[in-house]
Structure 1
Amino acid sequence: MEGTGPGNAIYVVNHGKHAGLMIRRADIPANQIPERVDFPGAEYLEIGWGERDYYQADDPGVWLTLKAALWPTASVLHVVGVPGTPQEAFAGLEVLRVTLNRDAFLRLVRDIHGSFVRMNGDKALPLRRGQYGDSWFYPARGRFHIFNTCNGWLADKLKRAGLRLGWVDPFTSDQLMARLRRSGAAVEH
């Protein structure tokens, strides 16, 4: 991507149903994403967005699946503190590296920062422990529904940072990953 300043690598990992965005914790400016203090041993933060009840459920079942798809509902952010590299943490999963110029990277971080629901400008309070590793769920902005899904949310953030991923947001994580590969993202091993 064109722009000013050196580039920052971000990573996108394909979990099957959804994709997660990974940002090196040390690259996040001090005034952005204060929730990072909840993960002192992390080298990276993996961030995903989804329907509040479905995403937090151990076994969402049919009712939560239908509710998530058919009604605009509240959302959460799932943040995972990753102590090593994306490739080590998610060995066996597809991981893509995208290099953004500094301006694009800062736009992406500001956009992610603005996705948290915070009281009085402080950091967001965790709702509950996350799905794996050192992780938490946090309240998020935006309503989840079939036309505003986790993969569409991530694609929107990446497009707002300057990536060209097409007019229509991808529905599946495989569609998102294919578009990222076409945009020049590098496969990590």
Structure 2
Amino acid sequence: MELRQLRSLIVVLLAGLLAGCAANDACYEPGTSEETFRSVYVVKRAWHTGIAIAAADWPNRHWSVLADFPESRYLEFGWGDARFYQAEEESFWLGFRAAFFSTSSAVHVIGFEHPSPEALIADEVIEVRVTAERLKQLTHSIEQEFAQSVPVATGASLDVTPQPNKFYEAKRRFFFPRMCNWWTARRLNEGGCPIAAWSVVSAGRIMREARGFAGAPQTVP
């Protein structure tokens, strides 16, 4: 069985239980002033999702990862099994090992200029609005995912995008069903979005939820 077939089988088996419906609720309370809104971007590539934030909006201005991408206006963050994530070519055995026998994980950071599918070589990019206070919680949660207090890049990178990108050692254990899309859901939840991360497996679920958050009414005074 090829890796693509394995992914399809997993998604089909779990679709009925975990598909869920988009909440169509915003990631902030009704009546929130628009002045407090900040944008985050949910990025999808095939079965994988990540979350992107403007570097200028990052609350912790002294975080060393910002200095690793001095020319980038935005940073995208994704998480996965270290060996599978950094492999030049995917294979069934790498995917199987990642899901059930992972020994380490990694955070992948991509620096870019414009939050668009074309710039990121992505299938879809959705803008979601959160409050400045919730953005602090979201970015802090991302910082806590790195294994080192002062993250040092592993030296690996991928050609998934022409933009600069680096891998960093992560502290969290990777295993099925707590994989990359679960991780993205956790970040959105830290940002105040009403999403149950425990129920998320597929990239499609993440994007459906993100469309609901993005399309929710923005009630302001």
Normalising by structure 1, we get a TM-score of 0.88
**What CA deviation, in whole Å up to 9, does each residue of 1:40-81 have, x standing for no partner?**
110000110000000000113122111111124311000011
Q: Unmatched 5+ residue regions in structure 1?
A: none
2:127 paired with 1:97: yes
TM-superposed CA distance for 1:87, in Å, is: 5.0
Q: Distance in 2 between matches of 1:53 and 1:89?
A: 26
Asked whether the 8 Å contact 1:73–1:145 carries over to 2, the reply is no
> 1:131-170 alignment to 2 at 5 Å?
131-132=158-159, 133-166=163-196, 168-170=198-200
Please tell me whether residue 125 in structure 1 is matched to residue 155 in structure 2: no
Q: Is the 8 A contact 1:98 1:185 kept in 2?
A: yes
Is the 2:43–2:122 Cα contact (8 Å) retained in structure 1? no
Q: Counterpart in 1 of 2:110?
A: 80
More divergent stretch after superposition (53-62 vs 163-172) = 163-172
1:180 pairs with 210, 213, 218, which one?
210
Task: Note the C-alpha offset of 1:31.
Answer: 4.5
8 Å CA contact 1:11–1:86 kept in 2: the answer is no
Q: CA deviation at 1:166?
A: 3.1
Q: Give, in whole Å, the separation in 2 of the partners of 1:111 and 1:150.
A: 15
Q: 1:47 aligns with which of 77, 82, 87?
A: 77
Q: CA RMSD in A?
A: 2.0
Say whether the 8 Å CA contact 2:102–2:174 is kept in structure 1.
yes
Structure 1 residue 108 displacement after superposition = 0.1
Give the counterpart of 1:66 among 79, 96, 114.
96
**How many pairs does the alignment contain?**
182
Question: For structure 2, which runs of at least 5 residues remain unmatched after alignment?
Answer: 1-27, 216-221
Aligned residues with identical type, % of pairs: 29
1:111 corresponds to which of 129, 136, 141: 141
Q: Is the 8 A contact 2:44 2:122 kept in 1?
A: no
Q: Which runs of 4+ in 1 moved over 4 A?
A: none
Q: SS of the counterpart of 2:200? A: coil
Higher Rg: 2
Partner of 1:18: 48
Q: Distance in 2 between matches of 1:98 and 1:37?
A: 25
Bigger strand fraction: 1
In the TM superposition, what is the alpha-carbon distance from 1:13 to its structure 2 partner?
A: 1.1
**In 2, Cα distance between equivalents of 1:167 and 1:155:** 5
Residues 102 and 175, structure 2, Cα contact 8 Å, conserved in 1: yes
Distance 2:103 2:195 in 1: 26
